Amino acid sequence: MIEARDLRKEYGGFPAVEGSTFSVESGEVFGIIGPNGAGKTTTLKMLAGLIEPTSGSVSVAGYDAGETEMRRRLGFLPEESPLYEEMTADTYLRFFADLYDVPEDVAARRIEETLSELDLQHRDRQIGDMSKGMKRKVAIARSLINDPDVLIYDEPASGLDPLTTNYIIEFTSQLAAEGKTIVFSAHNLFHVESICDRVAIMNGGEIVARGDLDQLQAEHGETVYHVHATVEVPDSVARNGQYVRTVESMDEVEATREAASEAGGEIVDIRTEESSLEEVFLNVADGHDSRSRSDRGADAESGSEA
């Protein structure tokens, strides 16, 4: 559904995005995460055809990014989404429906269904008098007015209260369940972890890791085992009438089992703890920063020798 090949975007000779290659399958939820300045927003804008890559290519639903037909298949939600504040939600959405040549009866039904699903209250208010959360819901409804196959959302719940944030994340998950292909960025990695099929981690304009959550955890995370015994074993801590030893491999789990047996006890529980996406992200980002510093140091050393 989306193909990005060797995407590069320069501003004044500085690469904001460099060499990004990835694909997003139909019906997939694909997350792009990274620190501020990593190149996430620039990447999303190139996917949406809003800015041209310096080099590389993008296709969405079989069309080159920016083609008229591609735009009809796409819904885009920027992080900052100015609205026509003197309009009501209904008037605003009908205006955009007309821009997409959506028939009036279809537009009316689609607007009613979408605003109901988003639980938008006070629809007769002017948008300028709405809360930030209500405005965000109107912006999301606008991204759906043309019934697109692909949605590109940049920080869809940015700056919203927890209740509205959770509602929008759940609504995004519902759109995915209905078959929409979704690419989005978010700083709240718990939300990314809860709804994404795959994730790309960006840092310094590059994709430094990608895969589903299990792959990322296996490659960049850590797994520890909390072994609960009925008797004291080496390196264990007494807790709630049991002795808990934390180890990092199954060999150590087995060694703990043998130690407990030799002491006349047994293992009663083994609890596995895996790295969260946030921990994986920090490991990857820190590793990339370390390599970058090392490369810069090597370049400097090379330059001093020259």
CATH at residue 150: 3.40.50.300
Q: Per residue in 204-257, pLDDT tens?
A: 999 999 999 888 988 888 888 999 999 999 999 999 999 999 998 999 999 999
Structure tokens at 222: 């850590």
Integer distance in angstroms from the first to the last C-alpha of the chain?
48
Nearest partner of 197 among 181, 186, 213, judged by Cα: 213
Residue 164 sits in the same domain as residue 252: no
What percentage of the chain has pLDDT greater than the value 90? Answer: 63
Q: Let me know if residue 290 belongs to a domain.
A: no
Of the given ranges (202-206, 259-263, 278-282), which has the lowest mean pLDDT?
278-282
Q: Let me know if residue 145 belongs to a domain.
A: yes
Nearest partner of 229 among 194, 187, 191, 259, judged by Cα: 259
Q: Per residue in 52-87, pLDDT tens?
A: 999 999 999 889 887 888 888 999 999 988 899 999
Q: Let me know if residue 287 belongs to a domain.
A: no
Residue 63 CA, distance from chain mean position: 24
- Give the whole-angstrom CA distance, residue 248 versus residue 258: 16
Q: Per residue in 151-196, pLDDT tens?
A: 999 999 887 888 888 888 889 899 999 999 999 998 888 888 889 9
Residue 149 sits in the same domain as residue 123: yes
Number of domains in the chain: 2
CATH at residue 253: 3.30.1490
Residue 112 sits in the same domain as residue 147: yes
Residue 19 sits in the same domain as residue 165: yes
Structural domain boundaries enclosing 210? 2-217
Is pLDDT of 297 > 50? no
pLDDT score of 299: 46
Is pLDDT of 302 > 60? no
Sheet holding 223-229, edge to edge: 237-239, 242-247, 223-229, 267-274
Residue 151 sits in the same domain as residue 249: no
Rounded to 10 deg, the angle between the 277-305 and 213-220 helix axes is 50
Three state DSSP letters for 6-57: EEEEEECCEEEEEEEEEEECCCCEEEEECCCCCCHHHHHHHHCCCCCCCEEE
Query: Quick check: 54 and 39 in contact, CB under 8 A?
Result: no
Q: Let me know if residue 50 belongs to a domain.
A: yes
